[in-house]
Amino acid sequence: MLFFKIVIYFLSYLIPGLLLSWLLTSGRQKISWFNLALAYGLGSALITISLFVYLFFFQAHFQLWLGWLIVLGEILVLLFLIIRQKAGPDQVEWRLINRIRRGNNCLRNYYLSLSIGRKMIMVLLVVFSLINFWFLGSNVITRPIATFDSLATWSLKAKILFYQSEISFDPASPLYLGGGGHINYPWQIPLSQFWLQANLGTYNDVWPNLIFLGYFLALLIIVFHFLKKYSDIFLASIFSFFVFSMPLVFYHAFNAYADLPLAFYLMAALGFFGLWLEDDRRHNFYLSAIFWGLSFYIKDIALVFSFAWLLVFIWLVVRKKILLKNFIKYLLVVFITALPILIFKLIYQQSFSNVAGDWSFQPLAIYRFLEAIFVSYSWNIWWFIVLTSLAVNFRRIISSSVLQFLWLFLGLAIIGLILLFSFSPAASYALDQTALSRSLMPLTIGSVLTVGWSFGKNKQRP
Amino acid sequence: MGSLIIPSESLSTINIIPGYFLGRLPILLLIGFLLLVFSLFIYWLARRNGKINYRQSLLNLFFVFWLIIFIWFTLGNYYDFQKNKYYSQYDLAKKQIIRVCDLDTVQAKLCRLFSFISSAQTKVPSDSHVEIVSDPISQTYLTYYIFPQWLPASTASRADYLFLYDDRVIIKLESQ
């Protein structure tokens, strides 16, 4: 029964997510692992934003059947829109089923085409991944949520909502706007956990791990897909393995924090934008903007990355790599997607900042930043690979607009983080080495795309 | 930051995975420096000799260097896996206690929370409003684990009970 409830929970994301992705791409997207990964991100956002609107804007009492009414209503609306657009099931090639059927042959043929050295590396990748995935699975099903911010913020809100079935709008209540110390935080992570617990029927601290395992797998799939697009399976496999085995990313796959989901949404936004710069397909453009807008529901630090994004966009417009109207269109889509959470912040006067205090330069924060990337084991040797890649691919980078965009974004976002953690009151989170390192997670994973495409084949147009 | 032991989790693991040192030299910095030197050498060779595919060679090099920390990482995961076998024989409540105690091995403030809560259950009626006075970390954990049995009070004056948790003091419960 528990297994059935968990499956139902994930289907409540995957089905509307798949329909939404078909709608956004007018049926161009097929059913594939990549499409399922996107569906997980889109579906979880759609359902949790719906719950968010229901709980905060209608200020209604939650009941499970009402939650499911919302999900089923959305599925029906999406189906209707798809049929109206004629992007429906008649155009869908069931690639996932076909691939599973053909999978063995494809893998066998690909493996046989490799040199002996590459064969050995691929075998090692598979063996290492399977062993560690087994270990990860044991963490997911045995370790209850107990890390600090999870209890202080994400899971606490879910727990309070589970038992109270509504949000408190009484400023005098300790449970005001969901309770906990950070009532300004976005709501997708708490609502994902709440929706799971509501479907399970009992509050349990272990099963929310599955949500984050889902993001972890979805992230690996989209990393592999985006890398394969402009390199080859071998490079995509190695770099996906790097993401899989970055110790801090792996640890976040079962600990109910928001950094890994944020990395998923930003990675999707970056990847689709890079694809759009290459192929000019509109659906890549819109998907990028939507994923960027959805990142605002995960963590407020998305705003810092957005400033970097904005600067890169302006640079692309000035260099006439993209048109001004596309720039405005993109901003508009991001704004519309993020509108509910922005309205929430406006109505309830919640800021993006979580700490108050003076702005002053803290040089030690820069040392902490360097320590986080070059001394700690959080990212293995990844940031040295980034430096190496920048050095050896410099000529390629300056000759490709996509690579310029990716590297410029990476650089500006790092500068944004350094400024945030060395000048603002948030510097305390760098000095005590708490939020700084994990805030690098979206950038670290984004840089995998940057480095991977820099090493890719010469497919990019200049 | 850390010593040469098999890694296990602590409260800070969610923020940063500590690196290890050889004397005062960070091991990761040493490995990374060697990687940079080898990479630039391969690149230089490739520029001189057009037959070398430097991209392919660098990928292989990255993979080999990656395995050094990866082996340490896998050993840590194996250690956690053994621990998980221990976890799996208990129910959820006991798992929570074990994990919180495991996480807080440095300050060891949190492990007694659960005996504090058990004791409070015998003295404080359910649905009471309580004010928690404690250090910020313990307060966060208490707030999470006592809900929904007891509700946080909006102000201390409105609390039915005051929970004073100090890991150096056994238990103090005061009715107002």
Inform me whether the pLDDT recorded for B135 exceeds 80: yes
Q: How far apart are CA A440 and CA A190, in angstroms?
A: 22
**B29 and B84 co-located in one domain:** yes
**Chain A residues with beta carbon closer than 8 angstroms to that of B143:** 156, 180
Number of domains in chain A: 3
* Residue A129 located in a structural domain: no
Number of A to B CB contacts under 8 A, please give it. 186
Over residues B43-82, the pLDDT tens digits come to 999 988 877 888 889 999 999 999 999 999 999 999 999 9
Rg (CA), chain B: 25
What's the CA angle centered on A270, arms A269 and A276, to 5 degrees? Answer: 90
**Among positive and negative, which fits the CA dihedral B93, B97, B98, B100?**
positive
* Residue B29 located in a structural domain: yes
* Residue A130 located in a structural domain: no
**A168 and A308 co-located in one domain:** no
Inform me whether the pLDDT recorded for B162 exceeds 80: yes
**A344 and A212 co-located in one domain:** yes
Burial class (CB in 10 A: 0-12, 13-18, 19+), A194: buried
Inform me whether the pLDDT recorded for B170 exceeds 70: no
pTM: 0.94
Specify the pLDDT at position A67: 95
pLDDT by residue for chain A (462 residues), tens only, comes to 899 999 999 999 999 999 998 888 876 656 788 999 999 999 999 999 999 999 999 999 999 999 999 999 999 999 999 888 765 544 455 555 565 566 666 777 777 888 888 889 999 999 999 999 999 999 999 999 999 999 998 999 999 999 999 999 988 888 888 887 788 999 999 999 999 999 999 999 999 999 999 999 999 999 999 999 888 889 999 999 999 999 999 999 999 999 999 999 999 999 999 999 988 889 999 999 999 999 999 999 999 999 999 999 999 999 888 889 999 999 999 999 999 999 999 999 888 877 777 888 899 999 999 999 999 999 999 999 999 999 999 999 999 889 999 999 999 999 999 999 999 988 989 988 888 999 999 999 999 999 999 998 655 443
**A265 and A375 co-located in one domain:** yes
Q: What is the ipTM of this complex?
A: 0.92
Which two tokens mark A426? 């948030």
Backbone dihedral region of B21: left (phi > 0), alpha (psi from -120 to 50 degrees) or beta?
beta
Confidence of residue B2 (pLDDT cuts 50, 70, 90): very low
Q: How far apart are CA B43 and CA B144, in angstroms?
A: 55
Q: How far apart are CA A97 and CA A79, in angstroms?
A: 21
Confidence of residue B176 (pLDDT cuts 50, 70, 90): very low
Burial class (CB in 10 A: 0-12, 13-18, 19+), A267: buried
Specify the pLDDT at position B8: 75
Give the distance from residue B26's alpha carbon to the nearest chain A alpha carbon, in angstroms: 6
* Residue A352 located in a structural domain: yes
Q: How far apart are CA A29 and CA A283, in angstroms?
A: 10
Which whole-number Å values give the CA distances from B168 to B107, B118, B142, in the listed order?
A: 12, 17, 16
Cis bond before residue B148 (omega within 30° of 0): yes
**A329 and A402 co-located in one domain:** yes
* Residue B14 located in a structural domain: no
**A166 and A247 co-located in one domain:** no
- DSSP letter at B156? G
**Chain B residues with beta carbon closer than 8 angstroms to that of A242:** 62, 66
**A252 and A179 co-located in one domain:** no
Write down how long chain B is: 176
- Among residues A20, A97, A89, A65, the alpha carbon closest in space to that of A199 is found at A65
**A166 and A301 co-located in one domain:** no
- Among residues A126, A129, A159, the alpha carbon closest in space to that of A144 is found at A159
* Residue B147 located in a structural domain: yes
Domain span at residue B158?
A: 113-175
Q: How far apart are CA A354 and CA A146, in angstroms?
A: 22
Of the candidates B29, B39, B62, the beta carbon closest to that of A374 is on B29
**B79 and B122 co-located in one domain:** no
* Residue B98 located in a structural domain: no
Domain boundary among B32, B54, B89: B89
Chosen for mutation from B11, B14, B73, B149 (greatest number of chain A CBs closer than 10 Å) is B14
Q: Which residues of A242-264 are buried (b: 16+ CB within 10 A; e: fewer)?
A: bbbbbbbbbbbbbbbbbbbbbbb
Which two tokens mark B67? 């395995």
Number of domains in chain B: 2
Of the candidates A238, A375, A384, the beta carbon closest to that of B35 is on A384
Domain boundary among A207, A224, A249: A207
Domain span at residue A264?
A: 138-143+208-462
Query: In this structure, are strands B172-175 and B161-164 parallel, antiparallel, or unpaired?
Result: antiparallel
Q: How far apart are CA A174 and CA A363, in angstroms?
A: 37
First to last CA, chain A: 55
* B151 φ, ψ (degrees, to nearest 5): -105, 145
**A218 and A173 co-located in one domain:** no
